[in-house]
Chains A and B, each alone.
Chain A
Amino acid sequence: MAVIRDVMPAFELFQPATTDDALALLAKYGSDAWVLAGGLDSFDWLKDRIKRPKVVVDMSQASGLRGIKEVNGGLEIGAMTTLTEVVRHPLVKEHFSLLAEGAELAASPQIRNQGTIGGNVSQDTRCWYYRSGWKCYRAGGNICFADTPTAINREHAILDADRCVAVNPSDSAPALIALDAQMVIRGPGGERVVNAQDYFVGPDINIMRMTVLKPNELLTAIRIPGTWGGAKFYFEKIRDRQVWDFPLVNVAAAMKVSGGKIDQIRIAVNGVAARPLRLTAVESAVIGKPADAATGEMAGKIAIQGAVALRFNAYKIPLLRNLVKRAIGGVQEAAWKS
Chain B
Amino acid sequence: MAEMKNPEETTKTLSRRDLIKGVIAAGAVSSAGYLFRASGVRAQQPSAAGSVERLVTITVNGQQRRVDVMKQETLATTLRYKLGLTGTKLGCDRAECGACTVLIDDVPHYSCSVLTQSVRARKVVSIEGLASADGKLHPMQQGVVEEQGFQCAFCMSGFIMSAVGFLKVNPKPTRTELAHGISGNLCRCQDYDKILTALLKGAENMRRA
| B113 interface neighbour in A9, A11, A43, Cβ under 8 Å | A43
Q: What residues of chain B lie closer than 8 Å to A276, measured between beta carbons?
A: none
Give per-residue flags for A11-32: 1 if the beta carbon is below 8 A from chain B beta carbons, else 0.
1111111000110110000000
Task: Enumerate A53-82 residues with CB–CB distance to B below 8 Å.
Answer: 56-58, 60-61
Interface centre among A5, A46, A60 (most CB of B within 10 A): A60
With A7-B74, A109-B181: A16-B49 Cβ-Cβ less than 8 Å: yes
User: Is B108 part of the contact surface with A, judged by Cβ < 8 Å?
Assistant: yes
Size bracket of the B interface: 35 or more
Residue of B nearest to A18 (CB): B49
Q: Sorted from nearest, which 4 A-B pairs have the closest CB atoms? A: A108-B184, A16-B50, A13-B71, A14-B50
| A47 interface neighbour in B51, B94, B109, B184, Cβ under 8 Å | B94
User: Is B52 part of the contact surface with A, judged by Cβ < 8 Å?
Assistant: yes
Q: What separation, in Å, do the CA atoms of A11 and B115 have in the docked complex?
A: 12
Interface centre among B50, B74, B94, B110 (most CB of A within 10 A): B50
User: Is A335 part of the contact surface with B, judged by Cβ < 8 Å?
Assistant: no
Q: What residues of chain B lie closer than 8 Å to A21, measured between beta carbons?
A: 49-50
Size bracket of the A interface: 35 or more
User: Is B143 part of the contact surface with A, judged by Cβ < 8 Å?
Assistant: no
User: Is A40 part of the contact surface with B, judged by Cβ < 8 Å?
Assistant: yes
User: Is A242 part of the contact surface with B, judged by Cβ < 8 Å?
Assistant: yes
Min Cβ gap B20→A in Å is 16
Q: What residues of chain B lie closer than 8 Å to A57, measured between beta carbons?
A: 50
Contact B108 A3 (CB under 8 A): no
Contact B107 A61 (CB under 8 A): no
User: Is A205 part of the contact surface with B, judged by Cβ < 8 Å?
Assistant: no
Interface centre among A7, A24, A58 (most CB of B within 10 A): A7
User: Is A150 part of the contact surface with B, judged by Cβ < 8 Å?
Assistant: no
Contact B113 A15 (CB under 8 A): no
| A243 interface neighbour in B48, B95, B184, Cβ under 8 Å | B184
Interface centre among A36, A44, A109 (most CB of B within 10 A): A109
The segment out of A110-118, A218-226, A282-290, A318-326 that lies at the interface is A110-118
Give per-residue flags for B79-94: 1 if the beta carbon is below 8 A from chain A beta carbons, else 0.
0000000000010111
**Mind listing 22 A-B residue pairs with CB under 8 Å?**
A5-B93, A7-B77, A10-B71, A10-B72, A12-B71, A13-B72, A15-B117, A21-B49, A39-B113, A40-B95, A43-B95, A47-B94, A107-B184, A109-B108, A109-B166, A109-B180, A109-B182, A110-B95, A110-B98, A110-B110, A243-B184, A244-B184
Residue of A nearest to B73 (CB): A7
User: Is A194 part of the contact surface with B, judged by Cβ < 8 Å?
Assistant: no
Residue of A nearest to B169 (CB): A88
Q: What separation, in Å, do the CA atoms of A3 and B92 have in the docked complex?
A: 7
Q: What residues of chain A lie closer than 8 Å to B73, measured between beta carbons?
A: 7
Q: What separation, in Å, do the CA atoms of A138 and B7 have in the docked complex?
A: 57
Contact A13 B52 (CB under 8 A): yes
Min Cβ gap B28→A in Å is 15
| A110 interface neighbour in B49, B92, B184, Cβ under 8 Å | B184
Give per-residue flags for A288-323: 1 if the beta carbon is below 8 A from chain B beta carbons, else 0.
000000000000000000000000000000000000
User: Is A281 part of the contact surface with B, judged by Cβ < 8 Å?
Assistant: no
Q: What separation, in Å, do the CA atoms of A106 and B146 have in the docked complex?
A: 34
Give per-residue flags for A157-173: 1 if the beta carbon is below 8 A from chain B beta carbons, else 0.
00000000000000000
Contact B107 A113 (CB under 8 A): yes
Contact B118 A61 (CB under 8 A): yes
User: Is A8 part of the contact surface with B, judged by Cβ < 8 Å?
Assistant: yes
Task: Enumerate A137-179 residues with CB–CB distance to B below 8 Å.
Answer: none
Interface centre among A10, A17, A39, A110 (most CB of B within 10 A): A110
User: Is B126 part of the contact surface with A, judged by Cβ < 8 Å?
Assistant: no
Q: What residues of chain A lie closer than 8 Å to B166, measured between beta carbons?
A: 109
Contact B98 A108 (CB under 8 A): yes
With A10-B70, A25-B50, A47-B93: A111-B162 Cβ-Cβ less than 8 Å: no
Contact A9 B72 (CB under 8 A): yes
| B117 interface neighbour in A9, A17, A58, Cβ under 8 Å | A58
Q: What residues of chain A lie closer than 8 Å to B93, measured between beta carbons?
A: 3-5, 47
Q: What separation, in Å, do the CA atoms of A36 and B71 have in the docked complex?
A: 13
Supply 10 further A-B pairs (C-beta < 8 A) apart from A36-B115, A110-B95: A3-B92, A7-B74, A17-B50, A25-B50, A39-B113, A61-B50, A109-B182, A109-B184, A113-B108, A244-B184
Q: What separation, in Å, do the CA atoms of A16 and B98 have in the docked complex?
A: 29
Q: What residues of chain A lie closer than 8 Å to B51, measured between beta carbons?
A: 13-14
Contact B48 A111 (CB under 8 A): no
Min Cβ gap B201→A in Å is 21
Q: What residues of chain B lie closer than 8 Å to A60, measured between beta carbons?
A: 115, 118
User: Is B63 part of the contact surface with A, judged by Cβ < 8 Å?
Assistant: no
Q: What residues of chain A lie closer than 8 Å to B50, measured between beta carbons?
A: 14-17, 21-22, 25, 57, 61
Task: Enumerate A82-121 residues with CB–CB distance to B below 8 Å.
Answer: 84, 107-111, 113-114
Q: What residues of chain A lie closer than 8 Å to B182, measured between beta carbons?
A: 109
Interface centre among A25, A36, A43 (most CB of B within 10 A): A43
| B110 interface neighbour in A1, A24, A114, Cβ under 8 Å | A114
